[in-house]
Amino acid sequence: MTSPDADWIREQLDRIAVKLRNHYGTTSGITGMALGVDMWWASTLQLAEIPYTAHIPFPEQPDPWRTRNPEAVAEWKRLRALAADERMYGTLDGLTGDARKRRAVQLLHKRNDGMLAATDAVVAVWQRGKREGGTYSALVKAHQAGKPVVLVDIRSRFVTVPSPRRLAQLLHPERPVPLPLPLPS
C-alpha cells in the first residue's frame, strides 16, 4: 500500500467514525488489532472518543513485527491498553512450524467470527477484486449474516454502504445476478 493510499484511508476512517458517532449514535467499536487498518481504526475510535473492544486472536499477534517494526509493537501495546474491553481467542504458546501457522490461521478466523457476532455493522477497507485473505472472508460472512457494510474501496477511492445485492456483485462478480421477473398480470 502506498503512502497516499494510507493517508486517504486514514482520512476516511476518521470521517466514518465521526459520522457513525454523530449521526448514527454509535457508542462502541471493535478492532481486530492487526497491523495497518485495524490499528488505524483503533486509533481513530480512541480519538473520536468511541470506546472499543480489542479482539485479539492470540497474545503473540505482534511477535512477527518485533524486528522489522518495533514502533508497531509499541503502538499495538498502547492501543491494547486503551481498549475499553478485550477479547482473546487463544494462544500459540508451545507451537512451532506448521502447527503454529495452522493454529494462527484458525484463531484469526475465530477472531473475525467473534467480531462479526459482536457487531451490528461492519466498516471494511477492501481492495475490490481481492478474493483472498481475512478481509474478504469477513466481508463474505458479513454479507451472509445480513450485516450492513461501510465499504472503503481502496481501488476506486470511494466509500459506500452497498445494498446486499450490490455487495454480492462486488464479492462475487463471476456469479450472474438474476433479473427480477415481471409479475403476472
Answer for the pair 42, 52: CB distance below 8 angstroms, yes or no.
yes
- Interval 47-70: pLDDT, tens: 999 999 999 999 999 999 999 999
- Average pLDDT for the chain: 93
Confidence check: pLDDT of 2 > 80: no
Higher pLDDT, 22 or 183: 22
CA–CA gap between residue 136 and residue 128 (Å, rounded)? 9
Residue-range domains of the chain with CATH: 3-171 (3.40.50.450)
pTM score: 0.90
All three cell numbers of 44:
481513530
- Interval 122-135: pLDDT, tens: 999 999 888 999 99
**Mean pLDDT across the stretch 78-98?**
97
Give the Å distances, CA to CA, from 148 to 68, 120, 122. Answer: 36, 8, 6
Confidence check: pLDDT of 22 > 80: yes
CB neighbours of residue 60 within 10 Å: 16
CA–CA gap between residue 109 and residue 22 (Å, rounded)? 31
Answer for the pair 21, 46: CB distance below 8 angstroms, yes or no.
no
**What's the pLDDT score for residue 183?**
63
**What's the pLDDT score for residue 157?**
93
Please identify which residue in the block is written with the cell numbers 472518543.
49
- Interval 149-170: pLDDT, tens: 999 999 899 999 999 989 999 9
Closest CA to 62 of 36, 42, 40: 36
